[in-house]
Structures are given as structure tokens and as C-alpha cells.
Amino acid sequence: MPQTLFRTDAATHVIRRASCMSAGVALALILTTAGSAPAGAQRASQSVASGEFQIAYHIKKKRHRRYVRRRKAPKKPVGPPAWFTKEENKDPVHIIVSLPKQQMTVYKGDKILTTSKVSSGKPGYSTPSGVFSILERKPRHFSNIYRGAPMPFMQRLTWSGIALHASNSVPNRPASHGCIRLPPSFAKQLFQVTLKGGHVVVANEDNIAPVEVVHDTLFQPSPMTQEEFYEAEASRIAKLAGIEFEGKLRSEKPVRILITRRTGRNQFVEMQKMLNELSFGAGDEDGYMGPDTSQAIRRFQATYGLAKNGIKSDELMDKLYEVSGRGKPLNGHLYVRQNFNPVFDVPVVIKDDARPLGSHMFTAMHFERGDDQTRWLSVTLTRGSGNKRSYSRRGNRKKKQQSEIVLTEKAPLPSTAEEALARVEIPKDVRKRISEMLNPGSSLAITNDGISRETTPKGSDFIVLMQ
């Protein structure tokens, strides 16, 4: 640019210099992009690089706060509560809940470890009474029925929604929707000493406790080695089904045994089982009359000259037992489960058929492998579920006058624990097999009411509900 264009005053000189600088920067960028540049342009570019027209841009950088990871203090190992003393007593832990007293008692064998207040189901949501097992344990759980309500230290008793769990509201009276609420501190302690499969008895009695019982009908352990157990199972399975026995480790889980009177549904399941064994195709052995079962009955009736009506009858059952070689129908049944799965079941004889058996649970105490004797404790339940009997939405109802009460004939009293054991006849081969499977904590339940609706085909122990 000619020198004559510059003014002598300082302001104009600054403006012109800034304009020249901008033009030089633009020219340098264009020539750099084009690849080659004339000598004049190269000098302009060099002047920009040398700093003659350089402008400093001051950009303030944002300072980020440095993240420092703090080391968490190691968690202290959670030990058993103070009331759970580790002694030589290795008997199983079981729980008894008294609904009238709203109290839980924790036992180890026949020794009381501790007690706690509880809150069971309020009117309209009464907690069922009976014999249960802990099916599932979760320290953090939310209800899928009541809008995700928190249920810390949940221990499930039924798959229909009854459980033990912690709650901030335990008023020592019925207040829940069927579950058994526990104080938070106690629920956490209880969670540390219970095991999956442990028994929980919910009773409508004020005072109930396990007592020792001695009887010849109760099973005693068989001092078998692992190899002897494998051989016995292999020969048994080969004899029954003609299949090869897979040598698995002997399960150390408690055995669950149920003896009950044969109900109409039990007989129906037995009929379906015999029809399937005789290859008449009755379908699922579920105790329900479906099209497969109906057609199987018709095919059996046509084969053996019975009236072809597809209906279960005494004539049909007698013929089924005769053809299948089972003799006469028996009035009782024995079921065996282990680790929440069915193992086997057989019919048994219950003497004095007219008298109720009652509801009893017997639990085997600790014994060492190789022992041939163990102690048994029993609990007897005599009262059925409340069903709003003790608590009513409208308060206490007016009692009936003495003149309104109608006396009826007395029903026979249920058997005691010892009497119920004496009334059951178990085949010797069945007793031998159960003795070989017996582990500490195994239990025997005797009930008059058959398999309850809460006992699922798999995934549960035998749940005895008081009617």
C-alpha cells in the first residue's frame, strides 16, 4: 500500500494497521488452501507468523472440580444376634406365632431363644393358621400386590402373598393385609438365624409349645454310607421303571412327609395315574376332569365291559385297582418331598376311619451321620383360622342368649399326636426308604384335610392350613 495513504495521527494509524492485519490473515488462509502462493503472498504469510499482525485471543477456560474418590470403610461382618448363642445344641430353628397373643417365639429344638410382638392380618385380611415353611428370603423386597410397599427382610410363607417382614407399624394387634409384621430391629436379627425351608407354625392357640414325643411310627435314621445309598436307589429305580440310576450326591436337605386322609381330589389324581400307567392317556394328573381324562375313562370302560359314560364311580375305581394290581383302595396317603420337589407317594391305611386325625407336626432334631436314633418334637393345632371370628369390622357382636343356643350331637374329638401316629400303618419298604433319606430337621405332618390349596406341585413344602 502506498505510504501516502497513512495519516500522522495515532488513531488513524491504529485503524489502518488493524485493517492490514485482517487482510493479511485472510490472504494467508486463501493461499494456504490453494497450495502455492506468489512471493508477495509468502512474505505476507511470514509476517503474520512472525507476529507482526498477530492478535492474542484470551479465552477463559472453565475449571473443573477435581473428583476425589473416597474409600468406604469396610463393612463389619454381620454376626448372629446376642440371643442366638452358639452352643453344642445343633437342633433346627423353628418359629411359632400365636395369633391371639400377637407374639412370635423362636425355638432351637425345645429351647426358647427369644420372643417378639407381631401384627397379623386385620379384619377381612386374616392371617391363615397352620404349618408353613420359609419358601423365599429377601433382605430388600417390594410388594407386587399393594403398590410396591416396602417389605424389608421378607421371608415368604406362601406364594399367594403371606410373609414375615419388617414394618415401622407393629401395634401388637391385627393391622396388616395378611402378612405377619415384625419390628425392624427384630426382623433383621431373625433374618440372620433362619434358613430357607425352616418351619413356621401359625396357631390360634394362646399357649403352644413343642414337646418331645416317642413312638414306634416315627422314622429313625438309617446309618448308610453314600455308596450303600447309591446301590439301594439304583436297584429300587431299576426294579420300578427299568431305567439306569444316575449317581448323584445324597441330598442333605430335610425330608418333608405328609400323611393325610384320601380326599375326593386325591382319589381322582390316583385314578388319572392308574389310567396313564395302563396307557389309556388321561393327560395331566391334576385332579380335574378334562377331555383327556373323560376319553381315557370311556376307553377303559369299553375295554373292560363297564357302562361307557366317562364318569368316575366306585365300580370304575374297584376295576382300576384290580387291573393295576394295587389291591383294594386305601383310605390314607403318604407323600414325600425334598428341597421343594416331590420324591414319591404311596397309599397307606388309617385305622378308625370315622374319627378325625387332627393336625400335628413332628420335627426331627439333630443327629450325626451314622446315628440310628434321633429325638422328635411335636406341635398340635386344635383351632382353625379365625375368618373374622375374633375381630369384626363392626366391633364385638352381641352374644346369643342361652335360650337361642341349640345343642347338637357332639362330634368325635380329634386324635392326640400319639393317637394319630398309632392309627397310621406304613409299609416296611416305605419306612426303610424314608429312613435312608432322613436328615436333621426333617418333618412329618399329619392332617385330616388333604393337600391344601397353598401346596404347589413344585416349589413348596407341604403347607397345612387349619380349616
Q: Among the three residues 209, 226, 252, which one is the final residue of a domain in this structure?
A: 209
Contact 101, 90 (CB under 8 A): no
Return d(Cα 431, Cα 435) in angstroms, integer.
6
Q: What is the pLDDT of residue 10?
A: 47
C-alpha grid cell for residue 161?
402373598
Q: What is the pLDDT of residue 129?
A: 95
Contact 237, 215 (CB under 8 A): no
Torsion of CA 97, 98, 101, 102, to 10 degrees: 40
Verify that 335 and 321 share a domain, yes or no. yes
Strand 341-350 to 424-425 pairing: antiparallel
Number of compact structural domains in the chain: 3
Verify that 204 and 218 share a domain, yes or no. no
Task: List the chain pLDDT tens, one digit each, 467 residues.
Answer: 444 444 445 444 444 554 545 545 454 544 455 544 455 544 444 544 444 444 444 555 556 566 556 665 555 556 788 898 777 688 999 999 999 999 999 999 999 999 999 999 999 999 999 999 999 999 999 988 877 889 999 999 999 999 999 999 999 899 999 999 999 999 999 999 999 999 999 999 988 999 999 999 999 998 876 677 766 766 666 666 655 545 556 788 999 999 998 878 778 888 998 999 999 999 988 888 899 999 999 999 999 999 999 998 888 988 998 898 877 778 899 999 999 999 988 889 999 888 999 999 999 999 988 889 999 999 999 887 544 333 333 334 444 444 444 444 566 888 999 999 999 999 999 999 999 899 999 999 999 888 888 999 889 999 999 86
* Domain housing 150: 93-209
Q: Among the three residues 188, 209, 230, which one is the final residue of a domain in this structure?
A: 209
Q: What is the pLDDT of residue 169?
A: 92
**Start-end of H helices in 159-252:** 184-193, 226-241
| Residue 175 burial (CB count, 10 A) | 17
Cα-atom radius of gyration of the chain, to the nearest Å?
40
Return d(Cα 169, Cα 344) in angstroms, integer.
44
Q: What is the pLDDT of residue 243?
A: 54
Say if 146 falls within a structural domain: yes
Residue 300 backbone phi and psi in degrees, to 5: -65, -45
Contact 348, 334 (CB under 8 A): yes
Verify that 356 and 456 share a domain, yes or no. yes
Q: Is 256 left (phi over 0), alpha (psi -120 to 50) or beta?
A: beta
Verify that 322 and 413 share a domain, yes or no. yes
Verify that 275 and 410 share a domain, yes or no. yes
Whether the full predicted model's pTM is greater than 0.75, yes or no, is no
Say if 341 falls within a structural domain: yes
Verify that 135 and 251 share a domain, yes or no. no
Q: What is the pLDDT of residue 387?
A: 45
